[in-house]
Structure 1
Amino acid sequence: MDATTQWNITVDIDEEENNTVANVSVRTPGGVEVTGVGRSNRNPNDPSVPEIGDELAVGRALGNLSERLLHRAERDITSVTGQPSHVHR
């Protein structure tokens, strides 16, 4: 079976003084929403460059989202096969 499926990721970034929080979410074709969270904290002695905080927070949120998707895949494999599953990372 050949198929092309597109998943869209939503990124929300909140900045407050020296702290940035990013939330990334994706909805699977089955309708399940999975969300990842990442944070960055600027040292008050460093210059304020919001883009850098955004990059760090979003990068960390995407890593968190990745782990959550892999855990979900493990649970799904286990439910289909009836056997414990561990996905290589």
Structure 2
Amino acid sequence: MDAEKTWTVRIDIGEHDGRTRAVAHLQTRDTSTVTGVGFARLSPEDRDVPEIGDEIAAARALSDLAHRLLRTATEDVEQVTGEHARLPL
């Protein structure tokens, strides 16, 4: 039977000086965490809908997290194989 694993992502969102910042934390193993960060800001001509800023910042944080996780996986492949690896997103 295949082993089942659970990885947890927590996204912390905060606002400061008209900017929304999201930090996505992925816990891959008991002690290993990968973090991505994303920002959003309200354009002066847009209506202030905080949830939209949260969504944009969170999406950007998750995108950053995905790139960082793929970079980590690439480095792991290279370490195991001793060869250059390229893992496209």
The two structures have a TM-score, normalised by structure 1, of 0.93
Any unmatched runs of 5+ in structure 1? none
Secondary structure of 1:22's counterpart equals strand
Task: Look up the match of 1:85.
Answer: 85
User: Identity, % of aligned pairs?
Assistant: 42
Q: How far off its partner does 1:45 sit?
A: 2.5
CA separation in 2, counterparts of 1:46 and 1:16? Answer: 17
Q: Does 1:43 align with 2:43?
A: yes
Task: Give unpaired runs (5+ residues) of structure 2.
Answer: none
TM-superposed deviation, 1:3: 1.4
Which whole-Å deviations, capped at 9, do the CAs of 1:63-83 have from their partners, x for residues lacking one? 000000000000000011111
2: CA distance, partners of 1:31 / 1:81: 24
CA contact (8 A) 1:18 1:43 kept: no
C-alpha RMSD over aligned residues: 1.2
- Normalised by the length of structure 2, the TM-score is 0.93
> 1:1-40 to 2 correspondence within 5 Å?
2-29=2-29, 31-40=31-40
Deviation at 1:31, TM superposition (A): 2.3
CA distance in 2 between counterparts of 1:30 and 1:86 reads 27
Residue pair 1:18, 1:44 contacting (<8 A) in 2 also: no
| Runs ≥4 residues deviating over 3 A | none
Secondary structure of residue in 1 paired with 2:57: helix
